[in-house]
Amino acid sequence: MKISVLGCGRWGSCIAWYLDKTGHEVLSCGLADAPEFITLKETRKNDYLEFPKSIEISSDLGYAVERAEVIVISISAQHLREYMADISKHNLDGKIIVLCMKGVEEATGCRLSEVVADFVDEEKTPIAVWVGPGHPQDFIRGIPNCMVIDSNNHEVKTMLVSKLSSSLIRMYIGNDFLGSEIGAAAKNVVGIVAGMLDGMNYQSLKGALMARGTREIARLIEAMGGNPLSAYGLCHLGDYEATLFSKWSHNRMYGEKFVQGVKFEKLAEGVMTTKALKKLADKYDVEMPIVSVLYDILFEGKSFEKAMEELFERSVKPEF
């Protein structure tokens, strides 16, 4: 297939590399003045990988959209709406949009597919998400993993799974579009808390965090109309190793540096997703103590120690 990958950061460049490796005609598109694009354009390398000659590189968004059968978007979740305003100036009929990004729009509480749907007719331009565990540093070394593609369009997600699977990434067909998106976004929030536990040498509490965090997200997915079991799949619990333990996890590292008083310069999507999940918890009247605690730490100035103390002093309840 002719695939344009919009966004050439850590994950976007890895996706372009992977799709080329699996035999597709790939174009990597970025902003002309973005440092990561300039580096790729000039050297065909970044800190993670090297592009083969077969990958085309361009900053021409119109050209990238027009040539593509499939448009993969991998940018910061909170910038998706303004980016879609530019993309939708071009004819998107007959193309498939695949979101390889994890988050919830902070200003509205919208899932990212809902943001895209504000700009396209899904009958003419199907929307899919590509989520699940993995880091570019591992994929480049040939370490395999499993991921999920989900969509409201069964034919589209089945085709994408067939075309994009390989021995490096085994793709699964998702069966809960809402749950896949919320679960994938929420794992970054849990990842920040895991990093805070690392920073305080409270690693022993990660077991409780994983058990309770998954249950918490399952309640939210169910309240929103999705399948609560999605939280126990690859989109969320299945991504915990890569997010809560890996040295490559930006969200885990953000949390660790936060409690150590060190500024973390790279993108941690879970920060703004925490705000969005708090908004959804209030909207759907779902008790989400872990999300609430993190919100208080990040945005209300509460100390990590005080927040954790209050979390553990909550009234005793049945586990399930």
Q: Say how many C-beta atoms besides its own lie within 10 A of residue 85's C-beta.
A: 11
3 state DSSP class of 268: coil
- Please identify which of the residues 187, 206, 275, 278 carries the catalytic annotation: 187
Q: How far apart are CA 132 and CA 289, in angstroms?
A: 24
Q: How far apart are CA 216 and CA 2, in angstroms?
A: 40
What residues does 28 pair with on adjacent strands? 5, 57
**Cα–Cα separations (whole angstroms), residue 97 to 94, 145, 149:** 10, 23, 12
Question: Are 93 and 263 contacting, i.e. CB atoms less than 8 angstroms apart?
Answer: no
Provide the Cα torsion 92, 98, 103, 109; round to 10°. 40
Question: Are 70 and 96 contacting, i.e. CB atoms less than 8 angstroms apart?
Answer: yes
User: Which residue, 256, 48, 253, is CA-closest to 136?
Assistant: 48
Angle at 123 between CA 117 and CA 128, to 5 degrees: 55
Provide the Cα torsion 36, 39, 43, 45; round to 10°. -30
In b/e form, how buried is each residue of 253-274, taking b as 16+ CB within 10 angstroms? bbbbbbbeeeebeebbbbbbbb
Question: Are 72 and 6 contacting, i.e. CB atoms less than 8 angstroms apart?
Answer: yes
Tokens 């699996």 correspond to what residue?
Answer: 22
Does the annotation mark 163 as catalytic?
Answer: no
Active site residues: 187
